[in-house]
Amino acid sequence: MDAEPVSDHGELFSPVSVGRISQVIIEQVRLLIRQGKLKPGDRLPSERALCGRFGVSRVTVREALRVLEATGLVEIRVGARGGAIVAEPSSDSVGEGIADLLTLSALSASEVTETRMVIEVSLIPLVVARAGADDLAELTEICRAQEAALAENRHHSTELSAAFHTRLAGCSHNAAVAMLVQSFHGPLLASLDAAAATAPEMGRRGIEEHLQLVEAIAAKDADLAAEIMRAHLARTAGRLAEA
Amino acid sequence: MDAEPVSDHGELFSPVSVGRISQVIIEQVRLLIRQGKLKPGDRLPSERALCGRFGVSRVTVREALRVLEATGLVEIRVGARGGAIVAEPSSDSVGEGIADLLTLSALSASEVTETRMVIEVSLIPLVVARAGADDLAELTEICRAQEAALAENRHHSTELSAAFHTRLAGCSHNAAVAMLVQSFHGPLLASLDAAAATAPEMGRRGIEEHLQLVEAIAAKDADLAAEIMRAHLARTAGRLAEA
DNA sequence: CACGCTCCATTGGTCATACCGTTAGCCGAT
DNA sequence: ATCGGCTAACGGTATGACCAATGGAGCGTG
């Protein structure tokens, strides 16, 4: 008899049915969305309909939808005419993920701040080149709101500060850059709160820097604006380091 | 009979059981992990045990675990001694989320390239400051592999080129930056393939620029390295613009 | 005719049970 | 001592049922 008749045949045999069925469904839907065959707002068939379509049980379909929902790809509504709706691309779920990584100390606050400096400082040239009058007006508006909040509550709103930075990224008129910065919105809030706890009186200075930034951008002075942004972020980083 | 005896009592009554049951379980586990009461490697009770613990059905527990798995918080293994294991914090799932966001958002190739220039050029100072001998060795190794691939197939491997840029970001020794660049891997490949189609003979020049980059980093010349990177990316951007 | 109310079909949320495939660890045979 | 099979634990899937929420159709009333 031949020795080892079924082993060492290399590529002859390949594993059959790898992974979960729900995973196959997930990737199938994902592909459809990426190919644009499913666009935001489109309604997927009902769970029961999908069961028949894929030839699987409802449990399996539901697990796939759960993952797609957690990934932020679809939104699920209950009731008649409910079901899975392809969601508008949003950076929210990504932001939560980064926040998780922060709290799990897989990312340090300094790493996140450093990353912000990398991105936000070097996107300044884009902003200077492309910011329109309406962009500047909105930035100024946010600064005004910050001043109002400061006058009223005696401490500056970290929410508004984060909004300023997010809106500033939007002034680059580059959706990819804007989304990246927006992803840091949530984690950014946490850092700002920590920094505010360290030095609550710094709110005013932060607002002044925001205003100077807007002025520099309006004056098309990219170098000055970048320098202001660098100093602004470095100051926040410094306060975080103290804590 | 009293008219409307139970309405208009304002805050007296609050909705009971908001949202999904699985969501409650998710947040409970999430909290335990954030508080450190569950550490990476710890094994959660089996699904059936969790059913009894929470007083819910297995389906509900499974949906919670699915979401936690999709979020990258736990890893699920089958078989005896299997179950949900608290995962080592990793930026992979977040990176995938960013990649999804980028591919789904109808970004133009120019936006992606521009964003790469923003990030990859300005992370150069970090790399110059922190790259170690092993980092440089690995970068050189990738370049060698590129040359080998070029000699063999007569056209350069876009996969290796993307790997070079990803590894370069890793040299910043900042996990957040590395995660961002890595999430551009997929879209980056698409751009590179498009660029390669336009000018297939440019592979050699790209490799040379990679090597010059490594040299400049080894020489701690941040300005030169940044300039090389800028030119390198700009060239790719230019070829994309032609297409 | 217009407005509002009620009823109902649709659809997701949850449960209970059963069976299968996979896996690790144990135990016996060689 | 090693290899092989056995077994219990555990996740993966299927089935069928019922509940809760929701939107729209149909009916009734002014």
Nearest-angstrom CA–CA distance, B155 and B165: 18
> Under an 8 A CB cutoff, do A94 and B98 touch?
yes
Scan for tokens 């602004």, then name that residue: A232
A107: helix, strand or coil: coil
Give the best residue of B30, B62, B104, B122 to mutate against chain A (max A CB count within 10 A): B104
Q: Are A134 and A187 in contact (CB under 8 A)?
A: no
| Bridge partners for A92 per DSSP | none
> Under an 8 A CB cutoff, do B101 and A114 touch?
no
Q: What is the pLDDT along chain A (243 residues), one digit of tens a residue?
A: 444 444 445 556 777 777 899 999 999 999 999 999 999 999 999 999 999 999 999 999 999 999 999 999 999 999 999 999 999 998 989 989 998 988 888 888 888 888 999 999 999 999 999 999 999 999 999 999 999 988 887 666 888 988 999 999 999 999 989 999 999 888 888 777 777 777 666 678 889 999 999 999 999 999 999 999 999 998 888 877 776
> Under an 8 A CB cutoff, do A111 and B174 touch?
yes
How far does A151 lie from chain B, in Å, by closest CA?
31
The answer to whether residue B170 neighbours chain A at the CB level (below 8 Å) is: no
Report if CB B81 to strand D is under 7 Å.
Answer: yes
Geometric angle at alpha carbon A56, from A53 and A61, rounded to 5°: 85
Interface of B with A in 178-197 (CB under 8 A): 180
Q: Read off the tokens for A241.
A: 């380091």
Backbone Cα Rg of chain B: 25
Contact list in A for residue B67 (CB cut-off 8 A) is: 66-67, 69-70
Q: Read off the tokens for B22.
A: 């699985």
Q: How far is CA A67 from CA A22, A27, A111, B90, in A?
A: 9, 11, 29, 18
Q: Are A74 and A68 in contact (CB under 8 A)?
A: yes
Q: Read off the tokens for B186.
A: 């997929």
pTM for the model stands at 0.85
Phi and psi at A86, nearest 5°, equal: -65, 125
User: CB neighbours (10 Å) of residue B173?
Assistant: 16
The answer to whether residue A114 neighbours chain B at the CB level (below 8 Å) is: yes
> Under an 8 A CB cutoff, do A97 and B102 touch?
no
Q: How far is CA B103 from CA A29, A30, B100, in A?
A: 14, 11, 5
A103: helix, strand or coil: helix
Q: For B168-220, write each residue's pLDDT tens digit.
A: 999 999 999 999 898 888 777 777 777 777 766 667 888 999 999 999 999 99
CA of B181 to C1' of C5 (A): 58
Of all residues in chain B, the one with the smallest CA distance to A120 is B118
Nearest-angstrom CA–CA distance, B220 and A134: 42
Nearest-angstrom CA–CA distance, A31 and A38: 9
CA of B3 to C1' of D29 (A): 21
> Under an 8 A CB cutoff, do B115 and A71 touch?
no
Tell me how long chain B is: 243
Residue closest to C10 C1′ by Cα: A80
